[in-house]
Amino acid sequence: MRRKTKAKLKKGLSVVYCSLIYLFLFLPIFVIAANSFNATTTKPYLTWKGFSLMWYGKLFDNTTLLQSFGNTMAIAFASTAISVIIGTLAAVGMYKYKFKGKSVIDALLYIPVVIPEIVLGISLLTLFSNVNIPRGMITLILAHATFSIPFVVFNIRARLSGYDNSIEEASMDLGASRISTFFNITLPVLAPGIFGGGVLAFTLSIDDVIISYFTNGQTKTFPLKVMESIKSGVSPDINALSVLILLGTMAVVFITQSGILNKKDRRN
Amino acid sequence: MTKHNFRSNTLPSVIMVGPVVLWLVFFIAIPLLYVAVMSFCSIDESYNIVFRFTTVNYKRLCDINYVQIYGQSILIAVLTTIVCILLAYPFSFLIARTTSKSKAFLYMLVIIPFWTNSLIRIYGWRTFLGTSGWLNMLLMKIGLVDSPVNMLFKRGTTVLGMVYCLFPYMVLPLYTAIEKLDKSLLEASSDLGAKGPQTFFRVILPLTSSGIFSGSIMVFIPTLGYFFVSDILGGGNSDVIGNLIERQFQSGNNWPLGAALSIILIVITLLLVKLYQKCGGDMESLGV
């Protein structure tokens, strides 16, 4: 009997503990969401003036804000595409072929993962200003692809460790060319890794503050727009857009991941 | 083997690995080398970089005002890492060992907040902790304080923001390490008469230390550079090395000095990664 109450107590405590951690993680999001319904119109938009959906309407009149969100999405898609293509080729190539200097490539790949982002940001800034690439959309895409490529490579490499080379040999023995083997055999097998790496690259890109801050020029991404507005008080239309982005991402991820998550669950 | 084999593999390997090599050389190796070179340069009156060897920037790095910020920065990073371990370890343990079907969901719940931009979430904390924020309202309502308490712009608020931003980077490796833990070892330990704490310190902790190491690396190093957290929550009272660098590349306009400051961060990173590898840390667990 005592043992049972003790176990119950233990379970209760762990539920309370985990709930507190989740509260910690979600608290600022509740604050942001609550303030998106704030009817206030005076800076710094912190006093509660009653419930209103007005900022969700105003959001669609704020063209510079919408433009910044458009930039963020365009940069995320472009840099994800680049990093997925280069990263997939690199991961497969480094797995299949033996050549000198592999450890050097590996070391270079680890740099963006471990080094503080600000160092990568300023080093790209010095590069872009030195070779006279005007800072803007292009430099942002190049910079985002640079920090995303390693994550794509590592994600795919994790799937490659159990990869059976003989199916490629079989394909070529049966007369398929290297290229058609790559597209018909290698890519489908690696698809989950490529997809996971792509999702990671995309999320890293839309949330990036530090590297964008140094490489953006006049082009504003959504995070940079937030940064700019923090000095004068973030207006609730930015909160409204954040809430919509969060809901949008949740919808997309739950739809695409639900299948994958279920499979993972069963394996465990 | 045969010459034929060699020849047939060269072209495909160049096609596959060539792009990444070019990319890494052009966008990582060359810029970092350039920063290293720049750190030995100086600027003229109109802020142009003068490419003549000088150690003037490194001498300025020893300025007492800077040294204080390195110290503060490392203190903030140490505190952030410790708080992250203490909060994340029990949490990851409970999540990873849960037998309920909602395990994947519980794990996802850690990631979801990070789909909202980190700046606005840090601003959310500022709103929450501010003098007219929810926390002060609550404290006044229950009568704990009479007037709003200023909780912002202290070193502690910066640590809170850092912990908040980097918490999942501690949970992820811990979760992986704990999930790998073989349950039968725990049973064996208790069958052999070990008490709870004994099992924890002599079986569980050593077996999951790899997760603690990689989590610590992934929390400690970024903390030194996250200038926006100390900007928003610390209000200039708890700058980290990142703030010093940011100032030189924006308002200060002394790029060579900023470059020298970045070299400090590079050196710290290299030392910690070497230490991590010496402790048996695996680079791959830092990746994803």
B259 and A126: CB-CB below 8 Å? yes
The whole-angstrom separation of Cα A91 and Cα A87 is 6
Q: Which pLDDT value is given to residue B51?
A: 82
- Chain A residues near residue B28 by CB distance under 8 angstroms: 108, 111-112, 120, 123, 146
CB B12 within 8 A of CB B226: no
Structure tokens at A23: 């509260």
Q: Which of A218-227, B165-174, B176-185, B230-239 has the lowest mean pLDDT?
A: B176-185
CB A141 within 8 A of CB A75: yes
- Tell me, what's the ipTM? 0.86
Give A104 to chain B, closest Cα distance, Å.
10
- Chain B residues near residue A68 by CB distance under 8 angstroms: none
Task: Tell me the pLDDT tens digit for each residue of A238-261.
Answer: 889 988 988 888 887 777 766 554
Highest mean pLDDT among B58-62, B188-192, B262-266: B262-266
The whole-angstrom separation of Cα B86 and Cα B104 is 22
pLDDT at A218 exceeding the cut of 50 = yes
Asked if A242 is an interface residue toward chain B (Cβ–Cβ < 8 A), one would say yes
Domains in chain A: ranges and CATH: 54-267 (1.10.3720.10)
- Chain A residues near residue B87 by CB distance under 8 angstroms: 21, 24
Out of B104, B117, B120, the one facing A261 most closely (by C-beta) is B104
- Chain A residues near residue B118 by CB distance under 8 angstroms: 207, 209, 223
Q: What number of other Cβ atoms are within 10 A of residue B97's Cβ?
A: 14
Contacts with A21 (C-beta within 8 Å, 6 or more apart), sequence order: B87, B91
Q: Burial code of B161-193, b = ≥16 C-beta within 10 A, e = fewer?
A: bbbbbbbbbbbbbbbbbbbebeeeebeebeeee
Identify any residues that bridge with B42 across adjacent strands, giving them in sequence order. Answer: B50
User: Which of A31, A37, A48 is the best substitution to test chain B (most B C-beta atoms within 10 A)?
Assistant: A31
Half-sphere exposure of residue A218: CA atoms within 13 angstroms, side-chain side: 2
- CA dihedral sign of residues A219, A31, B219, A104: negative
Task: Tell me the pLDDT tens digit for each residue of A171-194.
Answer: 888 888 888 888 888 888 888 888
Residue of B nearest to A244 (CA): B116
B164 and A24: CB-CB below 8 Å? yes
pLDDT at A198 exceeding the cut of 50 = yes
A contact residues 118-137, partner B, Cβ 8 Å cutoff? 118-120, 122-127, 130
Residue of B nearest to A193 (CA): B288
Helix (H) or strand (E) holding B49: strand B49-50
Q: Which pLDDT value is given to residue A89?
A: 92
pLDDT at A264 exceeding the cut of 50 = no
The whole-angstrom separation of Cα B20 and Cα A153 is 10
Look at the block and give the residue holding tokens 């060699």.
B6
> Mean pLDDT throughout B66-88?
93
Out of B30, B119, B284, the one facing A230 most closely (by C-beta) is B119
Q: Where are the beta strands (DSSP E) in A14-158?
A: none
pLDDT at A102 exceeding the cut of 90 = no
Q: What percent of chain B has pLDDT over 70?
A: 97
The string of DSSP letters for A111-149 reads: HHHHS-HHHHHHHHHHHHHHTTPPSSHHHHHHHHHHHHH
Q: How confident is the model at residue B26 (pLDDT cuts 50, 70, 90)?
A: very high
Q: Which of A29-43, A79-93, A248-262, B66-80 has the lowest mean pLDDT?
A: A248-262
Helix (H) or strand (E) holding B42: strand B42-43
pLDDT at B6 exceeding the cut of 60 = no
Domains in chain B: ranges and CATH: 63-287 (1.10.3720.10)
Task: Tell me the pLDDT tens digit for each residue of A66-75.
Answer: 999 999 999 9
Give A53 to chain B, closest Cα distance, Å.
19
Name the average pLDDT for chain A. 85
> Mean pLDDT throughout A64-84?
93
Q: Identify residue A207 by its one-letter amino acid code.
A: D
A89 and B128: CB-CB below 8 Å? no
What single DSSP character describes residue A38?
B
CB B122 within 8 A of CB B159: no
